[in-house]
C-alpha cells in the first residue's frame, strides 16, 4: 500500500536539480542494460521515467498556490473534482466490459468513502485550520490511491462473476433467489480479493517495510514513536475507506445486472471503450514523429473488407405459434389446471412468438421444434427468467401479477439444459437453496432418494461439480430441482447428455412424481415425447 509522506514536518534541505539528475541516470542505466539484454522494454522504462518526472513536477507547480491560498473551497474542489474524478475514471476503465453509469457509481463509491473516513482522520489529526491543504491533500491522496486499487479489483471481480459466470447466477435465480442472494457468492469473493492488498500491507508494515509516511516524518525530525502513531491512524483509515468504496461499487454493480423483476439482464453491457490516464499518456509518444514509425507502417496495411462491415442477414421474421400436435386421452380428461399460459414476445429481435396453453395436474407437455426456433426462450419466459413482451399467467389459483418474482420461480422452476459451472458440491448447493428467503418455513430438501432413483450414488452429493460428467451433472441438477417440489417443472432438454439407460431412469422418475404438479419439457427426441409425454406441442410458422 502506498502511504506516502504526511505533512506537518518539513524535510530539512532542498534537493538540487543536479542531484535529481543522478536519480534520473539510474533510469537511463536501466534502459541501456535493457537494450543490451534485448528485454524489449527499454522504451517503456524511459517513457515511464519521463512521465514520472513530468507528472510530479506539474503536481508541485499545481499544489504550490493551493497550499499558499489556504482556501477551503479550493482545497475541497481539488480533492473531489480532480482527485476523485480522475480515480473514478481509472477504476471505471479497468474492466474489459462496462455498463451504463459505471463512472458515476465509482465516483460516488470513492467520494463517499473518502468523505466519511477523511472526516474521521481529520478529527484525529486535528489540523488548524481543518482545511489546511498541507494536511488535507496528502491525506486524501493516500486514502483515494489505496481505495482506487481495491475498487478496481472489486469491480473486475464482480463484473466477471455477473457477466462471465452468469450461468451460476441464473441457476440460483431459477430456484427463487433474489438478485442479492444470487450475486452474494460473487460479492464475497470480490470484497475478499479487493481487501488483500490492504490486509497484506497491515500484516507486513513495520516488519518488512517502513512506510513512506514514517520515513518522511523521521527525516523531518519527528520521533519514531510519533511517526508510528501517525502510520497506524493512516493505515486504519485506508482500510476503512477501501472497504467502504469496495462494498458500494459491488452493490452498484449488482443493481446494474438485474432488471425490475429480478431477472439477470446484461443487455446493456458493452466492451470497454473508456481510456484511463495510463493508456492515454502511453499513447502520446506513438503519435510523435520520433515514435511513429511502427504505427505508420501499420496504416499501410490492407483495409477491412467491405463485407466485414455489413450486418449479418436478419433472422427470420415470420410469426410463430405453438400448437398442440397430439394429446393423449388421459391427459384430455386430466385434473385441475396447474399452469395457465398466455404470452407473446419476440424470439431474438424480429420473430414474433405467441403461445397459449394450459398445463393440467399430472401432465407432461413436450415441446419440439428445430434448434434456434425459440424453445429455450419460451421456457425462460414461462419461468420469468427472460424478458418477454406481454403475458397473463397463473399457477394454481394465483395470478402471476399477485406473486413476487421469487415466489413464481419457486413454483415454476426452470432447469437449465447443460450443467452450469457451479462451485462447490451438490450438497453445498442444496444447503444454499434451503437458506433462500423464498424457502423460509419450508421443509428441508430430500434429494438423496431421488439421486438414487436416477442411477447416481449418494456419495456424489459431496463431489465437486467439476468432477461430475455432463450427464451426471445434468441428472444431479434434475434430482435437486425435483426435490424442491415445484408446482411446474420446466425442463430444457433434460436428457440431452444422457445415454439411453440413464434417459429411461429419468423418464421413470418423471412419471412417478406427484399428481398435483405438471412438467413442461423441451426435447428433440420424438420417441421420448411418446414415452413420457401426455401431449406434444410444436412450433408452427403462421402467415
Q: Are residues 266 and 336 in the same domain?
A: no
Which CATH number fits the domain that encloses residue 399?
3.40.50.300
Q: How many Å apart are CA 393 and CA 417, to the nearest integer?
A: 23
Q: How many CB atoms lie within 10 A of CB 40?
A: 9
* Portion of the chain with pLDDT greater than 70, in percent: 87
pTM greater than 0.85 (yes/no) = no
Q: Are residues 107 and 215 in the same domain?
A: yes
Q: Are residues 77 and 124 in the same domain?
A: yes
Q: How many Å apart are CA 474 and CA 42, to the nearest integer?
A: 53
Q: Are residues 118 and 252 in the same domain?
A: yes
- Residue 381 domain-assigned (yes or no): yes
Q: Domain ends where: 282, 300, 331?
A: 282
Q: Are residues 30 and 97 in the same domain?
A: yes
Average pLDDT over residues 165-181: 94
Q: Are residues 275 and 340 in the same domain?
A: no
Higher local confidence (pLDDT), 384 or 296: 384
Q: Which three three-digit cell numbers place residue 510?
A: 418423471
- Tell me the residue ranges of DSSP E strands in 185-289: 270-271
How many domains, in total, are found in the chain?
2
Query: Quick one: pLDDT band at residue 422, thresholds 50, 70, 90?
Result: confident
Q: Which three three-digit cell numbers place residue 112?
A: 463517499
Q: Are residues 63 and 190 in the same domain?
A: yes
Q: Are residues 48 and 164 in the same domain?
A: yes
Radius of gyration of the chain (CA): 31
Tell me the angle at which helices 133-159 and 179-204 cross, rounded to the nearest 10 degrees.
130
- Residue 298 domain-assigned (yes or no): no
- Residue 292 domain-assigned (yes or no): no
Q: Are residues 333 and 387 in the same domain?
A: yes
Q: Are residues 272 and 340 in the same domain?
A: no
Q: How many Å apart are CA 485 and CA 79, to the nearest integer?
A: 56
- Residue 225 domain-assigned (yes or no): yes
Q: CA angle 436-100-193, nearest 5°?
A: 55
Domain span holding position 170? 17-282
Cβ distance 95 to 155 under 8 Å?
yes
Cβ distance 529 to 368 under 8 Å?
yes
pLDDT digit string, tens, across residues 14-62: 778 888 888 899 999 999 999 998 888 888 889 889 988 998 999 999 9
Q: Domain ends where: 227, 262, 282?
A: 282
The DSSP code for 402 is: G
Q: Which three three-digit cell numbers place residue 95?
A: 474492466
Average pLDDT over residues 379-394: 92
Q: How many Å apart are CA 254 and CA 250, to the nearest integer?
A: 6
Query: Quick one: pLDDT band at residue 543, thresholds 50, 70, 90?
Result: low
Q: Are residues 146 and 270 in the same domain?
A: yes
Q: Domain ends where: 282, 309, 333?
A: 282
Does an H or E element contain 364, and which? Answer: strand 364-368
| Pairing assessment for the beta strands 518-522 and 364-368 based on DSSP bridges | parallel
Q: Are residues 249 and 145 in the same domain?
A: yes
Q: In the sheet that 390-395 helps form, which strands lie side by side, from edge to edge? A: 398-399, 390-395, 337-347, 351-360, 320-327, 535-541, 364-368, 518-522, 488-492, 412-415
| pLDDT above 60 (res 12) | no
The strand pairing partners of 324, in sequence order, are 537
* pLDDT at residue 223, as a whole number: 81
| pLDDT above 90 (res 415) | yes
Amino acid at each position: 500500500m502506498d502511504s506516502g509522506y504526511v505533512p506537518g514536518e518539513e524535510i530539512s534541505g532542498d534537493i538540487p536539480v543536479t542531484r535529481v539528475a543522478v536519480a534520473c541516470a539510474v533510469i537511463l542505466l536501466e534502459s541501456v542494460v535493457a537494450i543490451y539484454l534485448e528485454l524489449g522494454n527499454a522504451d517503456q522504462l524511459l517513457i515511464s521515467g519521463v512521465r514520472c518526472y513530468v507528472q510530479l513536477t506539474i503536481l508541485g507547480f499545481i499544489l504550490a498556490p493551493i497550499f499558499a491560498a489556504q482556501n477551503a473551497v479550493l482545497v475541497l474542489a481539488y480533492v473531489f473534482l480532480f482527485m476523485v474524478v480522475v480515480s473514478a475514471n481509472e477504476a471505471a476503465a479497468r474492466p474489459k466490459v462496462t455498463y451504463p453509469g459505471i463512472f458515476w457509481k465509482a465516483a460516488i463509491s470513492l467520494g463517499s468513502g473518502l468523505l466519511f473516513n477523511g472526516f474521521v482522520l481529520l478529527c484525529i489529526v486535528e489540523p488548524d485550520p481543518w482545511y489546511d491543504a498541507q494536511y488535507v491533500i496528502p491525506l486524501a491522496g493516500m486514502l483515494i490511491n489505496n481505495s482506487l486499487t481495491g475498487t478496481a479489483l472489486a469491480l473486475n471481480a464482480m463484473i466477471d462473476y455477473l457477466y462471465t459466470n452468469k450461468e451460476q447466477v441464473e441457476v440460483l435465480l431459477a430456484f427463487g433467489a433474489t438478485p442479492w442472494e444470487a450475486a452474494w457468492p460473487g460479492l464475497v469473493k470480490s470484497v475478499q480479493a479487493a481487501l488483500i492488498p490492504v490486509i497484506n500491507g497491515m500484516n507486513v508494515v513495520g516488519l518488512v517495510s517502513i512506510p513512506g509516511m514514517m520515513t518522511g516524518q523521521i527525516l523531518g525530525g519527528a520521533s519514531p514513536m510519533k511517526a508510528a502513531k501517525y502510520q497506524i491512524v493512516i493505515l486504519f483509515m485506508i482500510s476503512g475507506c477501501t472497504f467502504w468504496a469496495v462494498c458500494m461499487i459491488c452493490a452498484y454493480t449488482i443493481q446494474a445486472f438485474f432488471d425490475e423483476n429480478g431477472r439477470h439482464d446484461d443487455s446493456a453491457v458493452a466492451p470497454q471503450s473508456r481510456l484511463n490516464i495510463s493508456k492515454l499518456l502511453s499513447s502520446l509518444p506513438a503519435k510523435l514523429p520520433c515514435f511513429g514509425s511502427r504505427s505508420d507502417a501499420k496504416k499501410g496495411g490492407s483495409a477491412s473488407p467491405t463485407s466485414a462491415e455489413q450486418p449479418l442477414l436478419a433472422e427470420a421474421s415470420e410469426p410463430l405459434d405453438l400448437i398442440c400436435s397430439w394429446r393423449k386421452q388421459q391427459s384430455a380428461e386430466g385434473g385441475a389446471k396447474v399452469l395457465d399460459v398466455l404470452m407473446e414476445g419476440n424470439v431474438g429481435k424480429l420473430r414474433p412468438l405467441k403461445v397459449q396453453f394450459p398445463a393440467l395436474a399430472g401432465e407432461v407437455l413436450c415441446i419440439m421444434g428445430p434448434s434456434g426456433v425459440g424453445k429455450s426462450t419460451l421456457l425462460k419466459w414461462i419461468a420469468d427468467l427472460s424478458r418477454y413482451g406481454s403475458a397473463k399467467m397463473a399457477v394454481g389459483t394465483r395470478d402471476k401479477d399477485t406473486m413476487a418474482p421469487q415466489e413464481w420461480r419457486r413454483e415454476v422452476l426452470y432447469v437449465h439444459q447443460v450443467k452450469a459451472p457451479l462451485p462447490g458440491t451438490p450438497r453445498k448447493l442444496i444447503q444454499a437453496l434451503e437458506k433462500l428467503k423464498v424457502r423460509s418455513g419450508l421443509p428441508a430438501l430430500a434429494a438423496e432418494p431421488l439421486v438414487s432413483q436416477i442411477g447416481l450414488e449418494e456419495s456424489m452429493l459431496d463431489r465437486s461439480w467439476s468432477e461430475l460428467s455432463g450427464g451426471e451433472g445434468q441428472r444431479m441438477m434434475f434430482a435437486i430441482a425435483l426435490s424442491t417440489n415445484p408446482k411446474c417443472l420446466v425442463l430444457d432438454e433434460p436428457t440431452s447428455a444422457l445415454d439411453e439407460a440413464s434417459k429411461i431412469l429419468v423418464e421413470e422418475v418423471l412419471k412417478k412424481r406427484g399428481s398435483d404438479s405438471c412438467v413442461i419439457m423441451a426435447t428433440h427426441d420424438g420417441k421420448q415425447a411418446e414415452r413420457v409425454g401426455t401431449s406434444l406441442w410444436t412450433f408452427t410458422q403462421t402467415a
